[in-house]
Amino acid sequence: MDALQRVKDAMLEETKKAEKMKEEAVEKEKREYTEKAAGAHLVVAALITIVTFIAGITITGGFQSGDDSHPDSAVLMRSTVFRAFVVSNELYIHVVVYLCCSYPLICARAT
């Protein structure tokens, strides 16, 4: 009877070890997936930042030329829509840069 109990205990111990190894493998797979996803998200965020920056420095409508009172200023400078575009573009680029910088910290905390 004592030998049977030892066999049962050994089998139970082996089952627990196998379950623990399986859990560790699943956890490792989740961590690798999160790291790959974080890298992909950072690439997309960087591309969005570049496009936003280019939209901000490329003035919509062009520049005034000649002997105006403000040469080389934006043609649409007095337009409300243009001003809203500039403000929203500045806000958006600040948000995206913040997210690009803080995203690795958020992912590290999540794992």
Q: What string of H, E and C letters represents the secondary structure of 51-98?
A: HHHHHHHCCCCCECCCCCCCCCCECCCCCHHHHHHHHHHHHHHHHHHH
In the predicted structure, residue 98 carries a pLDDT above the cut 80: yes
Q: In terms of residue numbers, what domain contains 39? A: 2-110
Q: Which residues of 41-57 are buried (b: 16+ CB within 10 A; e: fewer)?
A: eeeebeeebeebeeeee
Question: Looking at the 3D structure of the chain, how many domains does it have?
Answer: 1
pLDDT digits (tens, 9 = 90+) for 11-69: 888 899 989 999 999 999 988 888 888 788 888 888 888 887 887 777 766 666 766 66
The pTM of the full predicted model, rounded to 2 decimals, is: 0.53
